[in-house]
Every structure is written in structure tokens, then in C-alpha cells.
Amino acid sequence: MRYSKRIAFLFAIAFSTTSFSQSIYQSATVRSAFKKGTRTITGKPGVAYWQNSGDYNIHVNFNPATNLLSGEETIVYSNNSPDTLKRLIIRLFPDHYKKGVKRSDEIAEKDQNDGVSIEQLSVGNESITNFSNNKKAFHSNTNLIVIPKDMVLPHTKINLNVKWHYTVNTGSQVRTGMVDSGSYFIAYFFPRLAVYDDMNGWDDWNYNGLQEFYNDFGNFNVEIKVPFNDVVWATGERLGEEANLGPAIMQKLQQAKSSDKIIHVIDPADYATNAVINSDNTGIWRFKATGVSDFAFAVSDHYVWDASSVLVDSLTKRTTLVSAAYNTKHKDYFDVANQAHQSVYYMSHLYPKVAFPFPQITVFDGTDQMEYPMMVNDNPTETHKDAVQLTSHEIFHSYFPFYMGINETQYAWMDEGWATIGESVISPIMGEPEDEGIYSKTRYEHISGTDKDMPLITNTKLYEGAAYLSNSYGKGGLCYWVLQDMLGDKLYFKALHQYMSDWHGKHPIPYDFFYSFNNATGKDLNWFWRTWFFDWVYADLGITKAAQQNGMIKVTVTNKGGLPVPVYLTFSFDKGEPKTVHYGADVWKDGKTEFIVTQKFPNKITFVRLGNDLTPDKNGEDNVWDGSDKK
């Protein structure tokens, strides 16, 4: 009997989820993944799901005097796919600065160079020396295409050994390069294998400076050699730091690892007394990171260092070391360690209410606004508000795309949208709310309903400018807020946690997100996904009719733009405080375009306003009623 009930239950689930899937457009690629069993319409990874990985053992030498970075690495690449790989794609992101490479931004002539010079490359037992041979190895903008003698068979590993060098840019900073004469933030510095996945095979996208990244997870063991007086911060945990840092600094660092108060690990006095560096320092700094998708490091001979420990998991008592490294000339940075501490705490316990996934994170006073696993490269800001919002935004990326292996290049809203709503939830708690309610809401409203307004599902590799910024940040973040507003906190977090639990350390696509929420909530949300992600609609509600009689008011709200957003109506009276009523976006389910609100109040209504600070609306002029009959 138990077995029969189980079969009936599985049949019911299969029927319901199949019904869900039929109302959303699926590309041939997505259908193929379902058919192969790597993805499912339950939103969970399929029984045939797989992903490849690469482990990196890297030795790098960086000389600020010449800006030359040279390195050697061994990559152990695991082909966990059922496919035989006849070629390999190696990312050479520093080639963004190479003369003649296609890019979306302007690179000053002085920062253009010869790109990455590969001194040695071996794949398995094969040594490759000619990188201009279309039958063996050749450059394609920022990619190096390699056709090895021996194909990489399914479920096997192959070793690659690479020796390389390039010149680090001193200007034209695009997420990496010199910060000042003694400080650098170094990202994308090592040759790495591109992603080969179940959806598209090799990701052969060429980095152009706009779209962000898509990487496999792996383990990193990295040694970084710098001049004697330089301090290094990096992805991962420090190994043998007592060989680098002076005894007084080590004592303060140990204190920071167990204190929830900000500790000045390195301050100006430490530099003045030569206390920062251990006298036996070899200049080699060692780091280890497990299960991460990237590695970055930063160097300075004069930055101060603030740090503290944050309890991120109340059950296990696990903590995260949170740091800020900065130039004391930048006064706004004096509070960044505190902002980062609060951000990690609130993310762990409030939103998304998932324990911070990494043992440490460092916000480095840099030139950009960019995230990396356990590292943030943030420029100085003009105001405390800007600093809080920027810090919380970039740290939130620790979840998306670094806990969840998002393809940022193709689906920017799957990570930037989450960082947008995360920033917009957490910054107000720290006393610095967004001026527009949700970051980039105004940007979205400006282009909504125009030819620049693209459906969210559109591949973000294919467009740029206002549409890219609007979809990636504003519209993506707004969608998540509307979804939570509609589902309520309990159901929303149940679904979000289910999605994150199922897909952390993996590579979710939009359909995994859609179907995971359908499954976890027990609701058919396909009408919501269809309108927010596939349809050519926009946010524009208006009050089209209103009348009151004998204390009763009837207000007709019309959805003129077609996008489902919540209805907030605030009623003002001739006496007493205003009252707001709220209805979730599901009032527009099944294509409804009108919603009638009937309310009874003891006092005369003098004014009605539609919307709130968080709800997007293309045209706010029709969102008010002044007490006269509106027909």
C-alpha cells in the first residue's frame, strides 16, 4: 500500500509540475536539458545533473616597480560531463588590455599592451608552443582555443601546466589594476578554463569589459610573492601568516578573529615603527580557498586594516572575519569595516537569512565597484549613504553569484537583481535608505514601456546601455520585491531557501529559479514569470474611477502597462490619520486589467493616493484622487 501511494503521489507531482511548465516558453536548449535529466520541472537538479570543475595551484610574482605579473600554475580539470571534449577554452582576461582586442569600453593608449604572454603550456603530456595555429592553439579575443592531441574523455581528469606573464594596467581600471603608487587590486590574473556545462557546452563568450562572469567552482592554493614591505589581502584563508606579519600585528589579528568589536589590525603607527612586516618575511603570502569560483588579491605598502568577527550561524557558532583595508586619506572608509560587519550580520540573520558562506571577506579601497569571492574592490564615496549602499550591495554578491554559481554574463539579473534588493533591504537598517525605495527603480521607470525596455529573460550578452542597467539592477530587484510582497515573508523565504539549498555550488538557470519557487510554494506562479520575464509589459497603474457615498468608497485601479505590481492605496480623511490598504500583485493574475477596491471608513475621504515608494510606476499623474467623482 505504501508503494502504491508513493506512485500516485509522484504521478500527481509530475502532472502538476508539467502543467506549470506548459505555460512558460521554453527554448529548445531548456527542453533538451529536461529531456536529458540534468534539469527538472520541480526546480531541483536532475538525477543526471553534472558540472565540471578545476583546481588551481598557482605561484605568482608581482613587481609593482615594473608592474610585471608572472606566474606558474597547475590546473587539474575534471570533465564530469558525458561528453568527449575535443577542444579546451582558456580564459585570458588580462587580454582585455591587449592592442586590437574588441571591447565595450575605452582603454587609454598607455594601458594597451601585448596582453598575456604564454611562456609554457602543456596539456597532459603534450607541450604546446605555437598559439597561431588554428589546428592546435589560437587566440580569439580574450580566449585561447586549444585542440589537444588527446581528447578529454567523459569522467576523466587532465592536468594543464601554464607559465605566463603580463603587465598590469596603471590606469583605465576595469575592475583591476593600480589604485595608487603603492596599492593594487589584481583580478582575473591567471589563465583559467572556461565553463563547459549541460546547457550550452563551452562558454565561448569573449570578455568585453561590460558583462560580468561565469566560472566553475574549484579549489585554489595560491602563493603570491610581492616586495618585502607589501601586505596582501586575497580570496581564501591565510596560511602561515605569522611568517609575513609582525608579532604585534599577529596579536591584533588574532584578537579580531574572536571579537565583535572593530580592531585596528594595522594602523599608521604600525608603519611608522616598522611593526607591520615580520623581519623574516620572504614576501611570499599563501592562501587557500575551497569550493570558490574565482580568486583575486590586493597589495599595498601603506593601507591600514580594520577587522572584526561576525557570528553568522547561531546554531554552529561559526564566525566570519570581516575586514576593510584602506588609505587613511579616504575618510569615508573609516566606517566601512563597521558597515561590512553589519552587512554580513544582517545578511546571515535577516535577508536572505542564510549564514554567510565564507570564512572571511575584505573590502579593499580600490577603483571600482566590483565583487569577488571573499574580496570587494570598492572606490571611495562622497557620502556615508553611498558607502553603506555600495558596501552592502557588493558583499551581498557573496550569495549571488558566488554561493550560487550564476551565469552573470547571460542572466545578469540573477545576481545583480538580488544584490539590488539585498542592498535596498539592508541599507535602511543601517540608517541609509535608498532615495528611490529600491536601487535603480527610477532607471527602470525611465525606460519602461519604450523600445529600450527588454523582457528580463533576454540574454544579457545581447544588449547594453540603459536596457542592460535597467534589467540587471532595477527591474530584477523590483521583481524579487514584488514576489515577496505577494507571497508574504514566510512563504517567500521558504521558497528562497529551497532554491538556494538545491542550487548552491551549482549552476542554476532562470527556469530552475522559476520551477523551484513553484514547487516550494505549491503555487502555479507561471502567470507571474510569464509577465515579468517574457512579456512586453511595463509598470503603470492608475486610478480610473472613484466615488464615495455614505462613508463607502469604491476605487477602480486599472493596470495600463500590464506588469503585475502590488496595489497600495492610501486614504486621507478630513480628520484622523491616513490609512493604507494593500493587495498583492496576484490581483492581476490571469490577465486582469481592472481591480475594484471597496472600503468603508467613519470619516470623509479627502484624498486617495495609489502606490508607495517601492512600487514602480511609469506615470504617476493618474495615481491620485482629490475627492471629486472620477468617472
What's the pLDDT at 8?
35
Summarize the chain as % helix, strand, coil (round to 5): 30, 30, 40
pLDDT at 19 over 70: no
**Across 597-612, average pLDDT:** 95
- State how far the Cα of 433 lies from the Cα of 438, in Å rounded to an integer: 9
Q: What pairs with residue 14 in β-bridges?
A: none
**Across 104-131, average pLDDT:** 96
Query: What is the domain partition of the chain in residue ranges?
Result: 2-36, 49-232, 541-625
> Starting from the edge strand earliest in sequence, which strands make up the sheet with 88-91, in order?
132-133, 137-140, 143-146, 88-91, 192-193
pLDDT range class, residue 9, cuts 50, 70, 90? very low
- State how far the Cα of 505 lies from the Cα of 174, in Å rounded to an integer: 27
What's the pLDDT at 25?
95
- Measuring CA to CA, which residue among 432, 514, 509, 444 is closest to residue 478? 444
pLDDT at 20 over 50: no
| Coil, helix or strand at residue 468 | helix
Q: Give the model confidence (pLDDT) of 461-470 as tens digits.
A: 999 999 999 9
pLDDT at 213 over 70: yes
- State how far the Cα of 382 lies from the Cα of 175, in Å rounded to an integer: 20
Q: What pairs with residue 218 in β-bridges?
A: 292
pLDDT at 22 over 70: no
Q: Give the model confidence (pLDDT) of 126-158 as tens digits.
A: 999 999 999 999 999 999 999 999 999 999 999
pLDDT at 357 over 60: yes
- State how far the Cα of 73 lies from the Cα of 303, in Å rounded to an integer: 29
pLDDT at 13 over 70: no
CA angle in degrees (0–180, nearest 5) for 520-524-527: 130
- State how far the Cα of 415 lies from the Cα of 579, in Å rounded to an integer: 36
What's the pLDDT at 628?
75
> Starting from the edge strand earliest in sequence, which strands make up the sheet with 624-625, in order?
579-583, 567-573, 605-610, 624-625
Q: Do domains 49-232 and 541-625 have the same CATH topology?
A: yes
What's the pLDDT at 75?
98
Q: Give the model confidence (pLDDT) of 384-410 as tens digits.
A: 999 999 999 999 999 999 999 999 999
Answer positive or negative: Cα dihedral of 414, 418, 419, 424: positive
| Coil, helix or strand at residue 502 | helix
As a whole number, the mean pLDDT across the chain is 95
Q: How many helices (H) and strands (E) does the chain have?
A: 13, 32
pLDDT at 367 over 60: yes
* Helix (H), strand (E), coil (C) string for 71-83: EEEEEEEEECCCC
Q: Give the model confidence (pLDDT) of 231-259 as tens digits.
A: 999 999 999 999 999 999 999 999 999 99
Q: Give the model confidence (pLDDT) of 322-345 as tens digits.
A: 999 999 999 999 999 999 999 999
Question: Scanning the structure block, which residue is given the C-alpha cell 616597480?
Answer: 65
What's the pLDDT at 549?
87
pLDDT range class, residue 631, cuts 50, 70, 90? low
Could you give the count of Cα atoms lying within 13 Å of 326 in the half-sphere of its Cβ? 24
**Across 414-430, average pLDDT:** 98
Q: Give the model confidence (pLDDT) of 435-455 as tens digits.
A: 999 999 999 999 999 999 999
What's the pLDDT at 393?
98
- Measuring CA to CA, which residue among 319, 242, 246, 320 is closest to residue 286? 242
What's the pLDDT at 629?
65
Quick one: CATH architecture of 541-625?
Sandwich (2.60)
Residues 572, 563: contact at Cβ < 8 Å? no
- Fold category of 49-232 in CATH: Immunoglobulin-like (2.60.40)
Tally Cβ neighbours within 10 Å of residue 115.
20
